[in-house]
């Protein structure tokens, strides 16, 4: 005869812990990197584009105003930084990719990706041209 199985003990209640909290900004940690930084690079208008609908707010390099031709429903978008259509590949690399590459060399993880519609300049920004190398060739040349 098989001995009877012991009754299962009642479930042990889970230890209640406080949810993780993010430290509140203080003057000491306010300059710490944000986990996600979003940049915007404006590209030059093509020859057939005759309406400018995106404007940088003159006093601010972080704010864009999207103005439809009818001037109604203007939208504002905030970025870490907005780069003009005249910004060089070298400046883009220095401001965006170089800090990520430096962190990578020091053992930190990082991710950079481009997003936009067809012909918006994603490949140009990443790969560049032989005369104006983009982020990837400049990162590999360090």
Which residues fall in the annotated binding site for ATP? 116-123
CB contact at 8 A, 24 and 18: no
Binding residues: 116-123
């Amino acid at each position: 005869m098989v001995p009877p199985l012991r009754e299962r003990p009642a479930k042990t209640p889970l230890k209640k812990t406080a949810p993780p909290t993010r430290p509140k900004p203080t003057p000491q940690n306010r300059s710490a990197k944000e986990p996600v930084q979003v940049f915007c690079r404006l590209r030059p208008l093509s020859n057939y584009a005759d309406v400018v609908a995106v404007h940088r707010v003159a006093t601010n390099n972080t704010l864009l105003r999207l103005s439809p031709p009818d001037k109604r429903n203007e939208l504002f978008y905030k970025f870490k930084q907005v780069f003009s259509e005249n910004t060089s590949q070298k400046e883009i690399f220095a401001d965006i990719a170089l800090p990520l590459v430096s962190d990578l060399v020091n053992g930190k993880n990082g991710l950079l990706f481009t997003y936009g519609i067809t012909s918006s300049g994603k490949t140009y920004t990443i790969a560049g041209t032989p005369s104006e190398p983009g982020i990837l060739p400049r990162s590999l040349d360090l």
